[in-house]
Copies of this chain bind each other. A is one copy, B any other.
């Protein structure tokens, strides 16, 4: 029965968009998953988490199974404070909220800052789930191009000046993934980071710094926007999804106390005591820096394997950014529609995410695809790229081949 439900204004607006998850591909069994932005199974500490639960229950019995009460929950917050301090960000308890993954943090930030009059500045391309979240609140965006050095701040400055000159609404929020960006894998230079903060002051907007991949650096770690944020304008979003396990749903947001307090009001899934206490129990036995080093080494090897395979198997016309951390390689295949090519790739045995889904203006992503070196094993990566090379070879227009 189709009824005329009395939907809220929010959902009426959201219904105008495509349903979420359009970018998700049903990947046939046996297909090599270069689409999955997941950690590699052997790098997920399953046994250690099993042991962490056993220790937790042995020591605390029912405590972590109530709404509140586990002494390990404050410990998780302290762990996050300490990690942030290592990255030059000193946070009070009131400036930090633990969330159900980075995605909930992005939603809560939207919840307190955005409404149907708000403009959000985003990178083009950007993380598709963040686009979906923002689209639940507003239809006004400003998409700023990204290149090998991250967000193009000169272009951003021109766009802002232009908007101001025309008397148009300026953005309330910039959403950026400055380090090992999803999907491009690129990192914003220090100079551009400073420029972003300068523009935030000048044009009075807040900055959502999504740092889901920031700790997975193959070399030196980039300086956080939040670490050089004189106006307290940066809302930093972190996550243990990429460095421990996404299924635990542990993320956080750090920013001005007034903003964090407001987010806490709207966090109506409460505080997931069992997941948080389990994570705290897992972490307490761990040398986290060594753990990170292992992950960094593993992903660096996998990244090198993927890039070497791309060089070996892909036509000369194809190009990509060589990542210095994170999970992804962003590939341009001139003259090819990567949505149209996907069924053939899946049939050949390799999966990727078409570039289109990472753009507000989807047509801009037509020739792009995102590969992930995180999930598949090294020999699978090589095989997957070889298969992709064959599919591209059959698809690329002759003059480009």
Where the two chains meet, the residues of A that have a C-beta atom closer than 8 Å to any C-beta of B are: 1-3, 5-11, 14-15, 19-20, 38-39, 41, 44, 46-47, 49-50, 53-54, 57-58, 61-62, 64-67, 70, 99-101, 103-104, 106-107, 111-115, 118, 133, 136-137, 172, 204-206, 231-232, 245-249, 256, 258-259, 262, 265-266, 268-270, 272-275, 277-278
> Which residue in B10, B62, B249 is a CB contact (below 8 Å) of A112?
B10
Q: Are B8 and A269 in contact (CB under 8 A)?
A: no
Number of copies: 2
Name the B residues within 8 Å of A272 (CB-CB): 100, 247, 249, 272, 275
In the complex, residue of chain B having the shortest beta-carbon distance to the beta carbon of A107: B268
Q: Are B101 and A269 in contact (CB under 8 A)?
A: yes
How many angstroms between the C-alpha atoms of A44 and B270 in the bound complex?
Answer: 19
Residues A245 and B1 in contact in the complex (CB < 8 Å), given A7-B112, A8-B118, A49-B57: no
Q: Are B2 and A258 in contact (CB under 8 A)?
A: yes
Q: Are A50 and B44 in contact (CB under 8 A)?
A: no
How many angstroms between the C-alpha atoms of A39 and B63 in the bound complex?
Answer: 11
Residues A265 and B54 in contact in the complex (CB < 8 Å), given A100-B100, A112-B8: no
> Which residue in B103, B231, B246 is a CB contact (below 8 Å) of A65?
B246
Q: Are B269 and A7 in contact (CB under 8 A)?
A: no
Residues A247 and B46 in contact in the complex (CB < 8 Å), given A8-B118, A232-B1: no
How many angstroms between the C-alpha atoms of A100 and B20 in the bound complex?
Answer: 20
In the complex, residue of chain B having the shortest beta-carbon distance to the beta carbon of A276: B247
Q: Are A269 and B256 in contact (CB under 8 A)?
A: no
Name the B residues within 8 Å of A262 (CB-CB): 7, 11, 14-15
Q: Are A62 and B44 in contact (CB under 8 A)?
A: yes
Name the B residues within 8 Å of A232 (CB-CB): 1, 3
Residues A67 and B50 in contact in the complex (CB < 8 Å), given A1-B232, A113-B5, A274-B249: no
> Which residue in B6, B50, B111, B231 is a CB contact (below 8 Å) of A11?
B111
Residues A64 and B5 in contact in the complex (CB < 8 Å), given A101-B269, A268-B107: no
Q: Are A268 and B106 in contact (CB under 8 A)?
A: yes
